[in-house]
Amino acid sequence: MNRKVEIRTTGDGSHTLFVPELNENYHSYHGAYAESMHVFIHKGIEQMLHQDTIRIFEVGFGTGLNAILSFAFSQSKKHKISYTGIEKYPVDLNLIEQLNYKDHWKDRQLNEVYMKLHQMEWNQEMSVSPYFDFLKIQGDVLSEDIANNHYHVIYFDAFAPEKQPEMWSLDLLKKLYESLAPSGILVTYCAKGQFKRDLKSSGFLVETIDGPPGKREMVRGVKAKNEL
């Protein structure tokens, strides 16, 4: 199942995809690459280096930008990451080949890995390197089973609440909360008041922190250390 999408250029020169059906971009129009680095790398997995293996769950695999940046992080830090991404609407490989993310990283070998992630079979876990295990699930996070007390970081990269309200429901937030290990975190670009209240209702401790370029704030939800 695919959506019609178009390639757009964002503020930092990196591409994103635009969904006419939703009138929504996959990433911030201020800068796709910069947003992913800030929200998911700097404010996400960099906070979990005390874990021997960082287990990541991404809601919205999309273009794979968050996944390849996490791979690059694992290689540079020589730190093991186990990465799971879920996507209901896989992006056509022909579109992926046109995205210009390779212009933004210094290591040209990353482009080979980026394409490999997209070419890999869905629903089959693979070892991409000694530091990076990868699984992409083609499915709907609303109905798929997710392991409880397992993940250290959730990349919550759904479309905005007004565009895809079902993805910001209390039921899903509670489900994601249960999937986190104690002290695990959920990071997202969104900082809307209702979302923060719903996170608290779901059990999260809510941190409002500095946002990516063009956005004043973002949110990090934390599961308590003693939560089992």
Task: Calculate mean pLDDT across residues 206-213.
Answer: 94
In this prediction the pTM is 0.93
What is the rounded CA–CA span in Å between residue 204 and residue 202?
6
pLDDT at 228 over 70: no
pLDDT digits (tens, 9 = 90+) for 168-177: 999 999 999 9
pLDDT digits (tens, 9 = 90+) for 122-164: 999 999 999 999 999 999 999 999 999 999 999 999 888 888 8
Least confident span in 75-79, 80-84, 96-100, 171-175:
96-100
What is the rounded CA–CA span in Å between residue 35 and residue 31?
6
Which residue in 81, 68, 76, 159 sits closest to 114, CA to CA? Answer: 68
Maximum average pLDDT range among 59-63, 76-80, 213-217: 76-80
Please report which confidence band the pLDDT of residue 2 belongs to, taking 50, 70 and 90 as the band edges: low
pLDDT at 103: 84
Superfamily of the domain at 6-222 = Vaccinia Virus protein VP39 (3.40.50.150)
Question: Which residues are 16's β-sheet partners?
Answer: 8
The domain locations on the chain are: 6-222
